[in-house]
Amino acid sequence: MGIIFIGILGLLIRRNIIMKLLSLDIMGTGVVSYFVYISSETGTVPPITLNWNLGNADPVPQAVIITSIVINFATLALAILITMILATKALSLDSTKLDKKVVD
């Protein structure tokens, strides 16, 4: 939970767009880690075993986590691309300066 709050704090405090994207990625990593922590069960084994009498782990949360990581990576890559285009056009990465340019 602490990693999520660090990401939110970085989003609120930092003015640099790259640092905001980094904070957003940290927050996403915290959410994935929290989901892994909640979905983990003690005493379970992988779903592919030779002994079927044991309680097998559910592969659905694993698939959801992998999908979440891929979507987070793609979203971050797209956001960095948009930030690069914005930085070349506005010549600034400071969010307050960019807000003033949009309003003017």
Q: According to the model, what pLDDT value does residue 94 have? A: 79
**With contact defined as beta carbons under 8 Å apart, do 41 and 54 qualify?**
no
Q: Which residue has the higher pLDDT, 57 or 97?
A: 97
pLDDT digits over 28-80, tens only? 899 888 888 887 766 566 666 666 566 666 677 778 889 989 999 999 999 99
Residue count of the chain: 104
Q: According to DSSP H, which parts of the chain are helical?
A: 2-13, 17-39, 59-90, 95-103
CA distance 49 to 47: 6
For 45, list phi and psi in degrees, rounded to 5: -115, 165
Class in CATH terms, 2-45+55-93: mainly alpha
Q: According to the model, what pLDDT value does residue 71 have? A: 92
pTM of the model: 0.72
Q: According to the model, what pLDDT value does residue 5 have? A: 92
Q: Which residue has the higher pLDDT, 92 or 81?
A: 81
pLDDT digits over 61-70, tens only? 778 889 989 9
